[in-house]
Structure 1
Amino acid sequence: MASSLCENCSRLVKELAAHLRRICREFEQKIRDVFRELCQCTCFRVTPERSLLRRETQEFLRPLHEDESQLLSQEGLQTLTRLAASENTDLQMTAAMYYLHVSHHLKSRLPDDFMEPVMTLLLSPDLDVQKTVSLALVNLLVKNNVCKELVIEMGMLVPILELFQSGDGTAQCHSCACVAMLASSESNRDAIIVDGIIPLLALAKSYDPRVQRNATWALLHLTHSDWSTRILCQAGGIPVLVLLLQSSDSEVQFCGCTALCNIAAIQEHHPKLLSIGGHYLLKSLLTLTSSSVQKNSAQACRCLQTLSKNVLIQEQLMELDCVPPLKALLKTPTAAWTEPAMTLLCALSAHPPNHDCLVSEGLLDEVGQLLRHHRSSSAAITHGCEIVTNLSCSGGGQQAVMESLCLSGLLGALLSPALSDDTLLHVTSCLRHLMTWDLLRCNLSATITAEQVLGLVKLSGQTHKPLLSYNCAAITSKLEMTEEIFALLRPHYSTVSQYLLVFLQKKDVKFQQLGIVTIFNLKKDGDFSSLLADSELEVQLDQVHAQTEETRRLLQMVQPLPPSPVNPPLSQTKH
């Protein structure tokens, strides 16, 4: 069977396989070398007990390349326990290496009994043993081979945190990774926050990028609950996280930014977030929005959007000229960039004092381009509709909408098969709002195409989707009823009559009123008047008229009697 991979991919896969085989051979050779040295050492010859331990170690190492049941046998556990408890650091290292091997190959849960030797090895006086077993523990935690809560219950957190003080970058890296994984479990955070928060903040400022990355990762997990977030902020975590936004490591930037986003979601922390002088936080986040790393740029936008719920922060963002970098993100072809930027700009457009600035910055031009070319996600298009709706209410907003591609983009979106009903509802709501302005109504009526009119009529006829149907029918009814518009509508009068009949039959007065207005406008065309005559639609219209007259008569019965000498106005009866 021919390979589906290209020549380059086949080469890369072969190189990877060769590399893995070489690593396995080197690891096997390392085990053999360790065992050979152990066998030659006089430690094994001093007593019969040492001789027995040597034979057990030899048997213990034999199943390294066998199945899991052999790796985790009861005999193996006994030998691991003896090796870990030995005063000989070489024997301890053998046990630690065995756990490292197991952590790479184990696919099932590690039996709880096998955790006891891990605790013993973490307490070893030999730093290399601690580094090896802590790396094994990281692997087991990442693959969910061990219970995170059990690690805490067994007291392993204490020796793990002690490795923070070792001064060894690798030991600190492994121990921070362990804490990060443990902190991902909500029930463990209380234990970690008590003794771990201060050293984690210190290691987050480490010059070793590996240590800094894992420490920041752990701090991020601590912002996933309100209580631990509060303790983190009280311990001075915000300034540290803000500084991490300037890190040269993109993963550190991402974790720091995400942690700040979680903190910003809690209103009570906003004063501390803003207390750093010179708008340092907002400036750093705005800089990060221009990052070439997509997820960092998007996360910075999300953090700013969360902060922008605070009106004071919105004002500061506008002072910092935040619009140009956000506009630049709208030009990217990737939804992961455009959507967060659109969300933030939408939040800014919801605040009326920002309208004139956003219009003058040409935001509507970019939004129009996005809507016109449908380059973004449904969420971004939804926010684009909200931006157009908000800014059209400003002084120069209507003119800017008309000069941009917003109207044609919105009309074109009606014909997009990729948009969901919810997104179409936002598009049509925006168009219906724009049709309330004379300037925009005239412009739209002059530019709408036959295909777009057909799209509006089809959506109006989907009466099982009441809101969408209502929006589209309302847009159609507000068109300037010129001869050109009548020419576009005439081929669809039959469909229009059908949905108008449904509208008149509804109990909802809003639909009835829209139906009446539409009929009034379309009767200006003789073709529609001829179609209406003696039709079911006209019969229904007469019924609505009769019902309305009856309602008016009944209302008159409950109206107050007109003023007379017998019934003076109420104001004259007061003294």
Structure 2
Amino acid sequence: MGQLCAKCAQLLCDFLLSMKTCSLGLVHDIRECLAQIQICPCLKRKSFEARQLYKPVVQPQEEEIAQEFLQHMERGFEMSPLGKDSLEALRTLAFSENPGFQKSAALYYLHISQHLNIQLPPEHLETYYALLKSNDLEVQQISSLSLVNFLLEGNVTKEHIIQMDLLEPVLELLESDDATVQCNSCACIMTLAVSDVNQEAIGAAGGVVPLLALSKSNDLRVQQNAVGAIFNLTQSEWIRQLLFRQGTLPVLILLLESPDSEVQYYSCAALSNMATNSQHHEAMLQIGDRFLLRTLLSLLASSEDKVSNQACVCLRNLATSERVQTSIVALPILPHLLPLLASNNPKIQQNAIILLRMLSQHPANQNALICDEVLQALGTLLLTWKTEPVIIGHAACFIKNLSLSQGIQRVVESPCVKGLLQAVHSADLLEEEPLLCVTSCLTELVKHEGAAARMLELMDEPLIDSLVRLAGQVEQTEPSFQAAFMIRHIIQHKEAVSLLKSHMNKVQQYLMKYLIHQENRFQQLGIATLCILQKDPEFSSAFSHSQLKKYLDQVCQQTEEMQELLSIAFKHMDT
């Protein structure tokens, strides 16, 4: 036989020594010491009930270490709590057959878990393996709680938990009959599951099924942590597929009706993640008569912001098809969304607007969604959040969709127009995508009779200046073209021409850019605008002495030459 390593030799020695017993006096001392520690306020938890210890088998080495460890605790942990001596003592106590010794090690970790402000060295996790595997219920309770504390405070890295094989004993504790152990082990899994790598490790190790079982627990703490763990796991697409196959959907949907807001939130958030995959939609919606949609609708009215917000996100993720969009609008949804638009929470407002915009994509829904209350709320939001990209962009897209409906006049008369024009005034502060949504919406509105006049009523010098500057920024192709398109329509009114006169040089500059632009639509828009402005004497005079006139003369001459050449070419073709 080869020579044993130090660890195996120690294990064999401990086994041989475990045949000896210790004195009852030592056991009594340990029990008294533990009783005092249990009632100490620093533990921040209810005292464990003292119970009679059985007569243990204690090794002489353990007896000596226990004595030193008790003295260590009596000195108020003045020594280094994580020193080498402490680690060796904790290892011996944790791997002992004596539950009292194991409990003293577990309590020690619980104590330092509430005071430690540094990382717990990874070697201490070896000790945890023995504590979590203990057959003693109190040891399981205490050690699992301290591990949760370490994880929550960041004293232990989640990767080390997996590397030190602690996932296995934690998952085993999920199947405990004790609610405290279940609660703590679920909390461990919930914390570990924030990591992408850990999510797959938990799924591969079979952690999904016990979590599903505990999500239906009668103990609220257990249920909260179990559903929270499932929510974190649903951030992985692979786990979502696994959960789908394990029949998670009906469980999560029923949990939406829980009276507890935490359970509602976690189950709703998990369903939101599941709904990011449209392949799951049919299974999610076929449970009951639109049961999921109706339940989510009721959660929009939750007094808890995070619940109502998550319900809105879930509806948004589900509303990717015309059929679902129509079903949501038919419930009806507007009375539930109006309070969210008026919320003090920007996230809720954003998600409510995103959902509205998605629902308005289907033409059949547009007339049902247009009402004065919604338009008033959107106008207020646009004027309040002048540069917030999500609110500005999605609100503009929603209004544009409504402008295609029969209620276009209500849109024109609403404060939304003022809000959109204000966004143009802040164009330099907006990202290109939301700015494009705003200019695209205004371009659609200005085509309608009365809309241009309405816009002109709201315009002033600074706004006209913003519009002209935007028209000249041809590198932003679409917003630039749409700004110029708006100018082309509003200058049908003399008031707009008068406002433009103070920006005559800028107007000539952007028109020149349009005339030499490679795209025909820019050239045509530039010429059409020029023709209208030429009717004004001041603009006509300015144009006649500008580079524009020279360029147009060149174009005319080229055109005449081109016509002559074409005429000659056609004659030759005829012959």
Task: Choose the corresponding residue for 1:243, options 254, 257, 274.
Answer: 254
Name the amino acid aligned to 2:541. S
Q: How big is the shift at 1:443?
A: 3.5
User: Is the Cα contact below 8 Å between 2:309 and 2:347 reproduced in 1?
Assistant: yes
User: Is the Cα contact below 8 Å between 1:339 and 1:376 reproduced in 2?
Assistant: no
**Cα deviations by residue, 1:436-460 (Å, 9 ceiling, x for unpaired):** 2234234434554444323322433
Q: Within the alignment, does 1:52 sit opposite 2:64 as a pair?
A: yes
Q: Within the alignment, does 1:129 sit opposite 2:143 as a pair?
A: no
Instruction: Give the 5 Å matches for 1:304-315.
Output: 304-315=315-326
Name which of structure 1's ranges 268-277 and 58-67 shifts more when overlaid on structure 2: 58-67
Name which of structure 1's ranges 319-328 and 414-423 shifts more when overlaid on structure 2: 414-423
User: Is the Cα contact below 8 Å between 2:285 and 2:292 reproduced in 1?
Assistant: yes
Instruction: Give the 5 Å matches for 1:158-197.
Output: 158-193=168-203, 194-197=205-208
Per the alignment, residue 216 of structure 2 pairs with: 205
Name which of structure 1's ranges 212-221 and 549-558 shifts more when overlaid on structure 2: 549-558
Name the amino acid aligned to 2:94. A
Instruction: Give the 5 Å matches for 1:25-36.
Output: 26-27=40-41
Per the alignment, residue 111 of structure 2 pairs with: 101
Task: Tell me how far apart the structure 2 counterparts of residues 305 and 560 of structure 1 sit (CA, whole Å).
Answer: 64
Task: Tell me how far apart the structure 2 counterparts of residues 101 and 108 of structure 1 sit (CA, whole Å).
Answer: 14
Instruction: Give the 5 Å matches for 1:81-92.
Output: 81-92=91-102
Per the alignment, residue 420 of structure 2 pairs with: 410
Task: Tell me how far apart the structure 2 counterparts of residues 222 and 42 of structure 1 sit (CA, whole Å).
Answer: 42
Q: For structure 2, list consecutive stretches of 5 or more residues without a partner in the other structure.
A: 1-36
Per the alignment, residue 224 of structure 1 pairs with: 235
Task: Tell me how far apart the structure 1 counterparts of residues 342 and 129 of structure 2 sit (CA, whole Å).
Answer: 54
**Cα deviations by residue, 1:213-264 (Å, 9 ceiling, x for unpaired):** 1101111122122222112122221111112222232222221111101101
Task: Tell me how far apart the structure 2 counterparts of residues 397 and 53 of structure 1 sit (CA, whole Å).
Answer: 84
Task: Tell me how far apart the structure 2 counterparts of residues 513 and 403 of structure 1 sit (CA, whole Å).
Answer: 31
Q: How big is the shift at 1:106?
A: 3.4
**Cα deviations by residue, 1:325-365 (Å, 9 ceiling, x for unpaired):** 11221122432221100000001111111112112575434
User: Is the Cα contact below 8 Å between 1:398 and 1:439 reproduced in 2?
Assistant: no
Instruction: Give the 5 Å matches for 1:105-504.
Output: 105-193=115-203, 194-359=205-370, 363-374=374-385, 377-394=388-405, 396-416=406-426, 419-422=429-432, 423-445=434-456, 447-462=458-473, 465-504=476-515
1:424 match: secondary structure:
helix
1:174 match: secondary structure:
helix
Q: How big is the shift at 1:482?
A: 3.0
**Cα deviations by residue, 1:139-160 (Å, 9 ceiling, x for unpaired):** 2223343343443454433432
Q: For structure 1, list consecutive stretches of 5 or more residues without a partner in the other structure.
A: 1-22, 567-575
User: Is the Cα contact below 8 Å between 1:294 and 1:337 reproduced in 2?
Assistant: yes
What's the TM-score once normalised by structure 1's chain length?
0.83
User: Is the Cα contact below 8 Å between 2:472 and 2:513 reproduced in 1?
Assistant: no
Name the amino acid aligned to 1:412. Q
Q: How big is the shift at 1:406?
A: 2.1
Q: How big is the shift at 1:266?
A: 0.9
Task: Tell me how far apart the structure 2 counterparts of residues 344 and 402 of structure 1 sit (CA, whole Å).
Answer: 22
1:230 match: secondary structure:
helix
Task: Tell me how far apart the structure 1 counterparts of residues 485 and 470 of structure 2 sit (CA, whole Å).
Answer: 11
Q: How big is the shift at 1:80?
A: 0.5
Name which of structure 1's ranges 553-562 and 96-105 shifts more when overlaid on structure 2: 553-562
2:123 match: secondary structure:
helix
Per the alignment, residue 518 of structure 2 pairs with: 507
Name the amino acid aligned to 1:220. F
Q: How big is the shift at 1:161?
A: 3.0
Cα 1:327–1:556 shift into 2, 3 Å? farther
Task: Tell me how far apart the structure 1 counterparts of residues 57 and 135 of structure 2 sit (CA, whole Å).
Answer: 24
User: Is the Cα contact below 8 Å between 1:398 and 1:440 reproduced in 2?
Assistant: no
Q: How big is the shift at 1:24?
A: 12
Task: Tell me how far apart the structure 1 counterparts of residues 128 and 293 of structure 2 sit (CA, whole Å).
Answer: 45
Task: Choose the corresponding residue for 2:534, options 498, 504, 523.
Answer: 523
**Cα deviations by residue, 1:147-180 (Å, 9 ceiling, x for unpaired):** 4344345443343233333332221110101122
Cα 1:130–1:48 shift into 2, 3 Å? closer
User: Is the Cα contact below 8 Å between 1:378 and 1:419 reproduced in 2?
Assistant: no
Name which of structure 1's ranges 141-150 and 332-341 shifts more when overlaid on structure 2: 141-150
Sequence identity percentage:
39
User: Is the Cα contact below 8 Å between 2:159 and 2:198 reproduced in 1?
Assistant: yes
Q: How big is the shift at 1:519?
A: 0.9
Task: Tell me how far apart the structure 1 counterparts of residues 228 and 297 of structure 2 sit (CA, whole Å).
Answer: 22
User: Is the Cα contact below 8 Å between 1:44 and 1:53 reproduced in 2?
Assistant: no
Task: Tell me how far apart the structure 1 counterparts of residues 469 and 539 of structure 2 sit (CA, whole Å).
Answer: 18
Task: Tell me how far apart the structure 1 counterparts of residues 368 and 523 of structure 2 sit (CA, whole Å).
Answer: 41
Cα 1:393–1:53 shift into 2, 3 Å? same
Cα 1:130–1:157 shift into 2, 3 Å? same
Name the amino acid aligned to 1:166. S
Per the alignment, residue 18 of structure 2 pairs with: none
Name the amino acid aligned to 1:178. C
Q: How big is the shift at 1:473?
A: 2.1
Cα 1:278–1:42 shift into 2, 3 Å? closer
Q: How big is the shift at 1:512?
A: 2.4
User: Is the Cα contact below 8 Å between 2:176 and 2:182 reproduced in 1?
Assistant: yes
Name the amino acid aligned to 1:271. E
Name the amino acid aligned to 1:26. C
Number of aligned positions between the proteins:
533
Per the alignment, residue 573 of structure 1 pairs with: none
Task: Tell me how far apart the structure 1 counterparts of residues 329 and 43 of structure 2 sit (CA, whole Å).
Answer: 63
1:388 match: secondary structure:
helix
Q: How big is the shift at 1:378?
A: 2.4
